[in-house]
Amino acid sequence: MTKQEMLNFAEAAVKAAGTQDAVAVLTENRSAFVRFGQNRVTQNLDVFKRELRLTVGDGEKQATVTSQRIDIHALPGIASEARALLKTSSSDPEYMPSVPAGQVYPVIEEAWDEFTSECPAAPRMEAVGQVIDTAVENGFTASGIGGMYTTQTALATSTGNAVAHRSTTALLSFTMDKGLASSYSALSGTAWSDLDINTAIATVAEQVKLNENAVELEPGDYKIILEPQATWNLMMFLPWIMDARMADQGTSVFSGMESRKMAGENFTLSSSLRGGKPGNSFNEEGIPAEDVVWFDKGILKNLPCDRFTAKKTGRLPLFVPDTLDMAGGEGSIEDLIAGVDKGILIRRFWYIRFVDQKTMKLTGMTRDGVFLVENGKIVKPLKDFRWNWRPLELFSNILRIGTAQRKAPGLIPPVVIGEQHYPFTD
Amino acid sequence: MKQLVQRAVEMLKDMGVDYGDVRAELIRTENTDFRNARLDDCRTVETEGVGIRVLVGSSWGFSACTGLNKNDVDAAVTRAVDIAKAAGSRGKVELSPLDIQQGVYSGPCHKDPFEVSREDKIALLQKASDDMMKDSRIKSSYAQLWFEKRDRIIGSTRGDLIETDLIFTQPSLMATAVVDGDAQSRTLQDGARISGWEWVEESGIGDWGEKAREEALMKVLADESPSGEMDLLLDGHHLSLTMHESVGHPTESDRALGWEANMAGRSFVKLSDQGSLVYGSDLVNFVADNTQPSGVASWGWDDDMVPGQKWYTIKNGIFQEFGSVRETALLMGKKFSNGCCRAMNAQCFPINRQPNFYLEAPENGVTPDDLASDIKHGIWIEGRGSFSIDQRRESFQFGGDLFWEIKNGRKVRPLKKVIYRSRTPKFWGSLDGIADRKYFRSMGLLTCGKGEPMQSARMTHGASYSRFRGVEVGGGK
């Protein structure tokens, strides 16, 4: 659908609702990917999806209906179902009306790449073929996924706001392995042309060789060198629990910590709509997105906050607009390694979960490449190990930050963390 | 839906594909969610669509659309064939043999939950939520009733045509207590079942609020875990997760083949281990069962249209066979698929998923207290908590939801922040006692994530209280 067709449909849905408050969000996705494993293509897909979410309210209570019947003739039925659901709902003391008229939404043109939006089959097949051919040439096994997807969203509110946003994403993520040795790369960008595929394939193939014959890590003190993917893995849980309401309830690590130092001077985390990854223009309620600094030089500056909590506590209603950048420094991962006398280089973490949500203590494993670094050089591969860490404590002890790279959420740098004692499972 | 499926199948035949199947699904879910004793989410979601999977030579093509519009389905058929042809061949695809399947399957449902009034659902959750929030130290509560009606029709160019209709039901709630800067939650649920409203009634969720409140408070006020090597007594709910991660995933055929190496991971279990690998003590008998009516992976047929089956994954401690799909069965050295192919919905390519499976329990005569009586120092764990396992599914760390210290055969005090670590064969090898079937509890999981793009799948696991010797405990503080 064109942008105007989508906006018209969303506005028609709001009109069909006929309720005091209404918000309609129409989303259209296309996903076109090739998946591979064991050096063979295991999936090859090109999928379209459209969905309407209609939230209605009468001033006291609300209800939401989601439907994939995207047909103007289906709207009266969907609206009728939403009203029926509303009737049986119960009064909500936290009821919030539709956002007021006159919202000004950022236009983020750079989120869309025309070529990528066409989801052509040839580039993804070619890239996957390159990965598999390189694996076969080296006696490795390759697996992964490559492709492109598009998302277009139109939103309309009963208060007269109407806005649309669209984005494209290209990705190639793959692993090569030989026995217990493996390496991994995840490329992500707005455009297929953003992906440096040749370099990634060559690097991964080389790293598999380096990873053969891994040994157990000996107990002792080690600096931790995180490649950007590993840095992001440690931060992934932040957006989940950065929430003003949870903080107020006393159930998160952020309780009572606003405007207080929680990490080191060199830890700055922000959402920039035109940063490393273009952000969304609005959220599902129709609140305009904005640039936000969450941590500034280690100080917790802002927390995402729902509209009710914002009104109750005097905060601003804020949300993470699907993009996060951690401020980087200078230097490649090789430069960082060169400055470490005794440390561990970690490429990627796996299966990270909370051990204790209140203190944000996490557990996880390393995966696809861990190396012992001595006197500025990689000296041997290490077997994967478990750790139980509090990432904010690690981010309070960052010795050096390298140049940030585009990863799934935005710009993320490699970092060197001060000494930790192994075993990391206390 | 049936006509749409048959029409698309005929199109595929005309286009000369080597194999094609068309899967139409209409899924309706209903959420009633309470947070902090207020109705937070009153929602229905209706997803409908058609997925077309084709083989041209040895190249897969898959396309899908939302809605049940004829033109959209036609376009999806053409797209699936086009991308299969464009792909070229990278490896040979050979599907295991299967007789032509035709039929209808309906899951058990005595009382349609969609026919129960919303007011009744709200009243039930309001009471449970009010009960949880009666103590001011409970700072957060959550209560939910979730229902799904899933109608599915699959037809193929071979002449298969199956129809299924299933209703899934899940009640759950959680209370979080905050005292002296610590926060601890207690979650009560028995998971999802293929069942109607009768599962809500049987679960007794209306009376869970008080128990969740008191146990959350007990937990937040409890002492922190001791550490060291000790014995564990684990209930069926807790074990549902342990077995899911350390038995279910490593025995998936696609992981053993390396097809999940980039995402969900590989397996420490090799193809050659079938029939010989010592996975645990001789008390360890895991039965996979996609015929058990209320199990959430019992769909009549899987998405390959292989009928639901029952088999031993592990017998007397020895690994028997992987869960497979038609594409992997022959690669695993088996003649037939055992029916583990499922997609999240019509828009997803079906992949190898875990079946329902459970740890067999003895007929009678053993109670959990009997098992505890032979523990000098250990921990009694109920429910699910923190969980993490390496990508080969060998080295893990688990928490739980409720903990008691056992000393000299008796529960002596509640605990919090307990975690334990072990390795899969060592852990299952340390199992030396199972309580009888009266204490068996099952857990229907709805959100097992796997695949790229990520799909969530569902399966039911179960066990009775089981005792494990000499496990490393500590590190949860």
Residues B311-357 have pLDDT tens digits of: 999 999 999 999 999 999 999 999 999 999 999 999 999 999 999 99
Region B231-235: what's the mean pLDDT? 98
- What torsion do the CA atoms of A13, A15, A20, A23 make, to the nearest 10 degrees? 30
Residues 6+ apart with CB under 8 A from B90: A36, A39, A40, A41, A128, A129, A132, B58, B59
| Mutation site, A25, A27, A42, A385, interface B, largest B CB count within 10 A | A42
Q: Pick left, alpha or beta for residue B212 (phi over 0 → left; psi -120 to 50 → alpha; otherwise beta).
A: alpha
Residues 6+ apart with CB under 8 A from A228: A333, A404, A405, A407, A412, A413, A414
Instruction: Extract the tokens encoding B245.
Output: 């991660």
pLDDT in tens, B6-27: 999 999 999 999 999 999 999 9
State the complex-level ipTM.
0.94
Residues 6+ apart with CB under 8 A from B76: A48, B8, B50, B51, B52, B63, B64, B65
* CA–CA distance, B103 with B105 (Å, rounded to integer): 7
Q: What share of chain A is helix, strand, coil (3-state, %, to 5)?
A: 25, 40, 35
Q: What is the largest CA-CA distance in chain B?
A: 73
| Nearest by Cα to A294 from A276, A314, A321 | A321
Question: CA B296, B299, B305, B307 torsion: positive or negative?
Answer: positive
| Mutation site, B90, B115, B178, B327, interface A, largest A CB count within 10 A | B90
Of B49, B176, B258, the CB nearest to A143: B258
Name the residue of chain A whose CA is nearest to B49's CA: A68
Beta strand B377-382 with B466-473 is unpaired
Instruction: Extract the tokens encoding B82.
Output: 């086009």
CA distances from A78 to A14, A81, A83, A321, A407 (A): 11, 5, 9, 28, 39
Instruction: Extract the tokens encoding A153.
Output: 């969203």
Q: Is B395 in contact with A352 (Cβ distance < 8 A)?
A: no
| Nearest by Cα to B127 from B185, B71, B228, B209 | B209
Q: Is B388 in contact with A34 (Cβ distance < 8 A)?
A: no
For residue A366, the cross-strand partners are: A349
- What torsion do the CA atoms of A415, A417, A422, A423 make, to the nearest 10 degrees? -70
Give the Cα-Cα-Cα angle A245, A251, A257 (nearest 5 degrees).
Answer: 75
Chain A residues whose CB is inside 8 A of the B260 CB are 37, 143
| Mutation site, A19, A54, A68, A180, interface B, largest B CB count within 10 A | A68
| Nearest by Cα to A222 from A331, A340, A398 | A340
Q: What's phi and psi for B129, nearest 5 deg?
A: -70, -45
pLDDT of B92 higher than 90: no
Residues of chain A with pLDDT under 50: none
The Cβ-side half-sphere exposure at A172, using a 13 Å CA radius, reads: 23
A388 close to B (CB below 8 A): yes
pLDDT in tens, B357-395: 999 999 989 999 999 999 999 999 999 999 999 999 999
Distance from CA of A73 to the nearest CA of B (A): 13
* CA–CA distance, A209 with A178 (Å, rounded to integer): 8
Q: Is B399 in contact with A355 (Cβ distance < 8 A)?
A: yes
Confidence of residue B201 (pLDDT cuts 50, 70, 90): very high
Name the residue type at position A107. Answer: V
**A419 membership: H or E segment, kind and range:** strand A415-422
Distance from CA of A103 to the nearest CA of B (A): 25
R_g (Cα) of chain A, nearest Å: 24
Sorted by where each begins, the domain ranges of chain B are 2-221, 224-473
CA B193 vs. chain centroid, Å, equals 10
Q: Is A90 in contact with B39 (Cβ distance < 8 A)?
A: yes
Chain B residues whose CB is inside 8 A of the A352 CB are 388
**A189 membership: H or E segment, kind and range:** strand A181-189
* CA–CA distance, A48 with A6 (Å, rounded to integer): 15
pLDDT in tens, A384-407: 999 999 999 999 999 999 999 999
Q: Beta-carbon neighbour count of residue A18 at 10 Å?
A: 14
Name the residue of chain B whose CA is nearest to A141's CA: B258
DSSP string of A190-258, one letter each residue = SSGGG--HHHHHHHHHHHHHHTSS-BPPPSEEEEEEE-HHHHHHHHTTHHHH--HHHHHHT-STTTT-T
* CA–CA distance, A398 with A415 (Å, rounded to integer): 7
Q: Pick left, alpha or beta for residue A392 (phi over 0 → left; psi -120 to 50 → alpha; otherwise beta).
A: alpha
Region B122-132: what's the mean pLDDT? 96
Name the residue of chain A whose CA is nearest to B91's CA: A40
Quickly count helices (H) and strands (E) in chain A. Answer: 11, 21
Taking domain B2-221, whether its CATH number is 3.40.50.300 is answered by no
3-state SS assignment for residue A85: helix
* CA–CA distance, B322 with B277 (Å, rounded to integer): 12
Residues 6+ apart with CB under 8 A from A337: A225, A343, A345, A373, A376, A377, A378
Instruction: Extract the tokens encoding A321.
Output: 């607009």
Question: Which CATH architecture group holds A3-208?
Answer: 2-Layer Sandwich (3.30)
Q: What is the structure's pLDDT at A419?
A: 97
- How far the first Cα of chain B sits from its last, in Å, is 54
Region B57-63: what's the mean pLDDT? 94
Distance from CA of B312 to the nearest CA of A (A): 27
Per-residue H/E/C for chain B: CHHHHHHHHHHHHHCCCCEEEEEEEEEEEEEEEEECCEEEEEEEEEEEEEEEEEEECCEEEEEEEECCCHHHHHHHHHHHHHHHHHHCCCCCCCCCCCCCCEEEEECCCCCCHHHCCHHHHHHHHHHHHHHHCCCCCEEEEEEEEEEEEEEEEEEECCCCEEEEEEEEEEEEEEEEEEECCEEEEEEEECECEECCCHHHHHHCHHHHHHHHHHHHHHHHHCEECCCEEEEEEECHHHHHHHHHHHHHCCCEHHHHHCCCCCCCCCCCCCHHHCCCCECCCCCCCEEEECCCCCCCCCCCECCCCCECCEEEEEECCEECCCECCHHHHHHHCCCCCCCCEECCCCCCCCEECCCCEEECCCCCCCCHHHHHHCCCEEEEEECCCCEEECCCCCEEEECCCEEEEEECCEEEEEEECCCEEEEHHHHHHCEEEECCHHHCEEEEEEEEEECCCCEEEEEEEEECCEEEEEEEECCCC
Q: What is the structure's pLDDT at B477?
A: 67
Find tokens 């000369």 and name the residue.
B16
Residues 6+ apart with CB under 8 A from A67: A51, A52, A54, A74, A78, B45, B46
Instruction: Extract the tokens encoding B347.
Output: 């828009």
Contact status, residue A263 vs residue A231, Cβ threshold 8 Å: no
Percent pLDDT > 90 in chain B is: 96
Residues 6+ apart with CB under 8 A from A324: A235, A238, A239, A269, A270, A271, A294, A409, A410
pLDDT of B476 higher than 80: no
Q: Is B258 in contact with A40 (Cβ distance < 8 A)?
A: no
A421 close to B (CB below 8 A): no
Instruction: Extract the tokens encoding B176.
Output: 């979080």
Interface size A-B, in CB pairs within 8 Å, comes to: 237
Alpha helices in A289-346 (DSSP H): 307-313, 333-338
pLDDT in tens, A315-343: 999 999 999 999 999 999 999 999 999 99
Name the residue of chain A whose CA is nearest to B47's CA: A68
The residues in A 58-77 lying below 8 A from B, measured between CB atoms, are 61-71
Find tokens 């992500």 and name the residue.
A188
Of A68, A252, A367, the CB nearest to B67: A68
* CA–CA distance, B449 with A103 (Å, rounded to integer): 37
Of A40, A68, A351, the CB nearest to B66: A68
Q: Is A85 in contact with B119 (Cβ distance < 8 A)?
A: no
Q: Is A250 in contact with B183 (Cβ distance < 8 A)?
A: yes
Distance from CA of A355 to the nearest CA of B (A): 6
Find tokens 């939801």 and name the residue.
B401
pLDDT in tens, A84-124: 999 999 999 999 999 999 999 999 999 999 999 999 999 99
Name the residue type at position B297. Answer: A
Q: Is A363 in contact with B388 (Cβ distance < 8 A)?
A: yes
Q: What number of residues does chain B have?
A: 477
Sorted by where each begins, the domain ranges of chain A are 3-208, 210-235+329-422
Contact status, residue B155 vs residue B77, Cβ threshold 8 Å: no
The Cβ-side half-sphere exposure at B18, using a 13 Å CA radius, reads: 12
